[in-house]
Amino acid sequence: MPTSPYVHIEYLAMLLVQLRPSSVLDIGLGNGKMGFIARDILDVMYGERYHKGNWQIRIDGIEAYKDYIQDHQRYIYDNIYIGDAYEVIDRLGSYDIVILGDVLEHFPKDRAWLFLDKCALHSNLALIVNIPIGPAPQPAIYDNDYERHLSEWHVEELTPYCTDSRQWTLTSGMRYGSFLINKDSYLLQRATVLFKEANRLKDEGQQDRAINLYSYLLKLRPKVPEFYNNLGTVYVEKNYTREALSCFKKAVELNPNFAVAFFNLANAYRDLGNHAQAIENYLRAIELDPLMADATYNLGNLFRKLGRYDEALVAYETTIRMDNTFGKAYNNRGAILYQKGLVSEAIELYKKAIELDNNDADAHWNLSLALLLKGNFKEGWPLYEWRFKTKDFPPRDLPMPLWDGGSSEGTILLHAEQGLGDAIHFVRYVPLVAKKGLRVILQCHSELVRLFETIKDIERCISFAEQVPPCDFHSPLMSLPMLFKTDLNSIPNDVPYLHIPPTVKAFWASKTKNGPNLKVGLVWAGKPEYKNDHIRSVSLSLFEPLMVLEGIELYSLQLGSAGREADRYPKIIDLTRHINDFLDTAGLVSNLDLVISVDTAVAHLAGAMAKPVWIMLPYCPDWRWMLNRHDSPWYPTARLFRQEAYGDWHGVISRLKAEVRMQTKGNSH
């Protein structure tokens, strides 16, 4: 059907009389009858403007096939644009009425709907769609492939958007329809359909397609806050946090009572480090929806991160009141009570979290730490294995099986994990593994390789940068206490288990002073990346009371950026520029009389060397130091100096000063 039928002409004329548009866009103008009718009715019949110079109605047309256009058509139309209507319409402005004459069937169905959306966006009032109904196949005509029918249309597809319509059956049996579509109603309904589709794509993880569709929806209806909010959530999934922030801000601007958008906005501010704005928007979300447990929970997490623990406890308690099945709130509340030293209370909360969700790896992991802290190794070690199910400790992908503790033939790869101090702490198990009959290859941090090469039961020590040789089994170092069923009475604590070569000790002896003074090494800070570093690390200024004592020499063992603090204190002897790895640190420690350290790898090093080491511990320390002890079953030469109140380092230093004074031969100033 190269030209559309004329059955709808009367209906079209009626619509034009009713609508009285001041501008018309005729798409697929063909022989131009739509333009002729519109011009005749609007300008000539009703406007009584017979001369072209008097015409006031703007009538433009789009036609894909330029050979269709005749000179007299150019007289009737103000402008005729030649090209693919899908592309051409983007260059045009708006019209009161957009008339489509046999156009949609020339597009594939999906593209046709998108084109109809474009038409609606360029319409002020309505669309008039003229189209064959049902089967109406048509090949390319006049060598114009654009005339090929690529989609089939049915009445029920268009009537949901119509305010009026007519259908006719032609003598050939083909059906034809004309549909009046209100622009606003169409965009509203189309937006609803597309919004559901965009949400489906988002839920199925098709993020880029979802972003494109949400963005398209905002072109259709640019003032719908839900569109901005959901687009923002997809940006969050793709880690486009600033783009997400912009979307959430627009959502709450459009709807100041949109609680979920305020919650999402708070999350975005949090992720960008703007904590004040995050807190403000969490509170606004809670104000709008007093039962939004996710908001109080996230607020608690932020307070916890900022060290505002009492406020975090209130937030978690509020979350639990809102939803007593919110397992992570029990877990995180327990973590704060744990830090406050209320370990038994924390254990109960961890157990409640596990009861609600037995797959909560963080709760199992936290419970293990609390049990180990209380010396309950029997229950603690198996739970400690849950660390590999948390996001912080992904298990290694190695080709050999895990060692079960029983096999006694072949080669085993023992590999360090977590921090340097953890590796030093648990390398003590190497002789027990070797005693089983296994050949031991140890993989560890490069800083420890030379130090661990001195352990006679290690056949080969490699760094993490080196390729793992063929082995029969593997085991993380920190799983060995469980495999050996370690309890308080069976801790392998024969020290020293790290020995320093005489040449290394002699080198460092030449660097230290040879005299009667007590030589004391100091470590005041751990690595800032450690999540609890804020409760263990201190400033060197805290040690100023020791600097006034006579009969002592203070040596810095502090590496990293914190070590630069030593430059401000002439009393501190700083030889760390000569340290390349932990064997060098061990060489320096071997020439000292005492090490005073916060809970860092150097404290473990000194203990493993059987060097007197005084360890400064926060109120609730790492699990290995346990509770209410001033000694360590792991390190016989260690003394523990604990905070007696949360955050009270000055009390610790006061006791240390008194003890150091007793060790010196001189008198204090």
Which run of H or E residues covers position 621? none
H-assigned helices in 576-669: 582-589, 601-608, 649-663
pLDDT at 27 over 80: yes
pLDDT at 666: 47
Count Cα atoms within 13 angstroms, Cβ side, for 174. 16
Segment 573-600, tens digit of pLDDT: 999 999 999 999 999 999 999 999 999 9
| Bridge pairing between strands 518-523 and 552-556 | parallel
Domain covering 411-483: architecture = 3-Layer(aba) Sandwich (3.40)
4 band by pLDDT with thresholds 50, 70 and 90: low
Q: Which residue from 255, 308, 310 is spatially nearest to 278, judged by alpha carbons? A: 308
pLDDT at 62 over 80: yes
How is 485-545 classified by DSSP, letter by letter?
T--TTS----S--S---HHHHHHHHTTS--SSSEEEEEE----TTSTTHHHH---GGGGHH
- Check if the beta carbon of residue 18 is closer than 8 Å to that of residue 10: no
Q: Which residue from 661, 620, 652 is spatially nearest to 542, judged by alpha carbons? A: 652
Dist. CA 649–CA 643, nearest whole Å: 6
Segment 471-511, tens digit of pLDDT: 999 999 999 999 999 999 999 999 999 999 999 999 999 99
Dist. CA 539–CA 523, nearest whole Å: 10
What's the predicted TM-score (pTM) here? 0.76
Dist. CA 20–CA 121, nearest whole Å: 19
CA 70 vs. chain centroid, Å, equals 61
Q: Quick one: what percent of the chain has pLDDT higher than 70?
A: 99
Segment 273-314, tens digit of pLDDT: 999 999 999 999 999 999 999 999 999 999 999 989 999 999
Hey, is 611 helix, strand or coil? coil
pLDDT at 11 over 70: yes
Quickly name the fold that domain 9-183 has.
Rossmann fold (3.40.50)
pLDDT at 77: 93
Q: Helices (H), strands (E): how many in the chain?
A: 28, 17
pLDDT at 667 over 70: no
| Total residue length of the chain | 669
Q: Where in the chain is the domain with CATH 1.25.40.10?
A: 188-389
The rounded radius of gyration (Å) of the Cα atoms in the chain is: 39
556-568 mean pLDDT: 95
Higher pLDDT: 32 or 559? It is: 559
Q: What are phi and psi of 129, to 5 degrees?
A: -105, 120
Give me the sheet containing 552-556, strands edge to edge.
Answer: 572-574, 552-556, 518-523, 594-598, 613-617, 638-642
Q: Which of 108-122, 214-228, 341-355 has the highest mean pLDDT?
A: 341-355
Would the CA dihedral through 312, 314, 317, 322 be positive or negative?
negative
Count Cα atoms within 13 angstroms, Cβ side, for 245. 16
- Check if the beta carbon of residue 177 is closer than 8 Å to that of residue 166: yes
Chain mean pLDDT for the chain: 93
Cβ density class 135-148: b for 16+ within 10 Å, e for less: ebeeeeeeeeebbe
Q: Where in the chain is the domain with CATH 3.40.50.2000?
A: 502-663
Q: Which CATH superfamily is domain 502-663 in?
A: Glycogen Phosphorylase B; (3.40.50.2000)
Beta bridge partners of 178: 130, 166
Report angle CA 480, 485, 491 to the nearest 5 degrees.
80
669 band by pLDDT with thresholds 50, 70 and 90: very low
Q: Which of 63-77, 137-151, 429-443 has the highest mean pLDDT?
A: 429-443
Q: Which CATH superfamily is domain 188-389 in?
A: Tetratricopeptide repeat domain (1.25.40.10)
637-666 mean pLDDT: 91
Report the range of poorest mean pLDDT among 28-32, 56-60, 178-182.
28-32
Encoding tokens for residue 209?
A: 């397609």
pLDDT at 86 over 80: yes
Encoding tokens for residue 453?
A: 């090469």
